[in-house]
């Protein structure tokens, strides 16, 4: 028997690779489901949009849970610049590492959508063009909102829903008060968030995911990208400060 059962410390390169791969999994699974499910949905079926939304929410939740189970022990399984920022604000992640995590998360998400585009090149005639003309599952408001919601609604949704996600992550992974079921809890939270937010603005809560889809969604998607970079981070900061109060050590 070994003297210690503690896992060996991970290297900086391993942590960054885990974040890139995990973000890839999240974006590939969630955005891929959104694109392919929408393609198969019967446009004449009144229930088709709801089925697509349910499938997309489930895919994001499952992708997050699987990725967290696989990589939490390596990098902490953030897969989202907002989560990384929230952990830093809560005092549970070094500030010097925030930009490194955010960079590889953006790269991982972009690789995922690039591969989806490559798959689309060999898809049915017109599929890729239609997917890109439809925004490539990017986020938006007004005419680009699935439910026709305007910018203020998108801002409120992104702040609140990102704060909820980051609070769940902070609570479920707390060193003393967390749970071994953290991957499942985080996945369920992300699925619930998408059930609420998809109709409003496509549900970002993750700047890396928004960048990954906007780069292939056309000029309109890029023009509407900025709120999905700014306001998830606002929600993350609020959640980080709230975590300090909720998990305050009484001593």
> What is the per-residue pLDDT across 28-38, written as a single tens digit (0 to 9) for each?
999 999 999 88
Q: What CATH number did the domain enclosing 149 receive?
A: 1.20.1080.10
User: pTM here?
Assistant: 0.92
Q: Is residue 4 part of a domain?
A: no
Question: What's the average model confidence in pLDDT over 170-194?
Answer: 93
Q: Is residue 186 part of a domain?
A: yes
Which residues in 60-205 belong to E strands, given as ranges? none
Confidence class for position 250, pLDDT limits 50, 70, 90: very low
Domain count, the chain: 1
Q: Is residue 132 part of a domain?
A: yes
Question: What's the average model confidence in pLDDT over 92-99?
Answer: 97
Q: Is residue 223 part of a domain?
A: yes
Q: Which domain holds residue 183?
A: 12-244
Alpha-carbon distances, residue 6 vs 9, 19, 171 (angstroms):
9, 22, 23
Question: What's the average model confidence in pLDDT over 143-157?
Answer: 97
Helices and strands (H and E) in the chain: how many: 10, 0
Q: Is residue 201 part of a domain?
A: yes
Supply 68's token pair: 């967290």
Structure confidence at residue 46 (pLDDT): 57
Q: Cβ(186)–Cβ(166) under 8 Å?
A: no
| % the chain with pLDDT above 90 | 84
Question: What's the average model confidence in pLDDT over 191-216?
Answer: 97
Q: Cβ(51)–Cβ(41) under 8 Å?
A: yes
Confidence class for position 251, pLDDT limits 50, 70, 90: very low
Q: Is residue 25 part of a domain?
A: yes
Q: Is residue 250 part of a domain?
A: no
* 41 pLDDT higher than 90: no
């Amino acid at each position: 028997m070994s003297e210690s059962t503690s896992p060996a410390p991970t290297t900086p390169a391993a942590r960054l690779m885990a974040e890139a791969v995990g973000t890839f999994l999240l974006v590939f699974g969630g955005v891929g489901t959104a694109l392919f499910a929408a393609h198969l949905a019967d446009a004449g079926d009144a229930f088709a949009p709801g089925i697509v939304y349910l499938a997309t929410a489930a895919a994001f939740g499952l992708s997050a849970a699987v990725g967290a189970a696989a990589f939490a022990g390596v990098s902490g399984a953030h897969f989202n610049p907002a989560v990384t920022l929230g952990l830093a604000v809560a005092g549970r992640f070094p500030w010097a590492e925030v930009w490194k995590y955010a960079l590889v998360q953006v790269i991982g998400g972009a690789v995922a959508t690039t591969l989806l585009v490559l798959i689309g090149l060999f898809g049915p005639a017109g599929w890729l063009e239609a997917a890109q003309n439809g925004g490539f599952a990017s986020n938006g408001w007004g005419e680009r909102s699935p439910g026709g919601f305007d910018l203020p609604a998108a801002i409120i949704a992104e702040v609140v829903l990102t704060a909820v996600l980051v609070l769940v992550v902070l609570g479920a992974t707390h060193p003393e008060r967390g749970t071994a079921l953290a991957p499942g809890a985080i996945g369920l939270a992300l699925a619930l968030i998408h059930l609420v937010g998809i109709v409003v603005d496509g549900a970002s809560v993750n700047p890396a995911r928004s960048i990954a889809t906007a780069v292939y969604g056309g000029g309109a998607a890029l023009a509407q990208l900025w709120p999905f970079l700014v306001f998830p981070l606002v929600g993350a900061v609020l959640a980080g400060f709230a975590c300090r109060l909720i998990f305050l050590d009484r001593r």
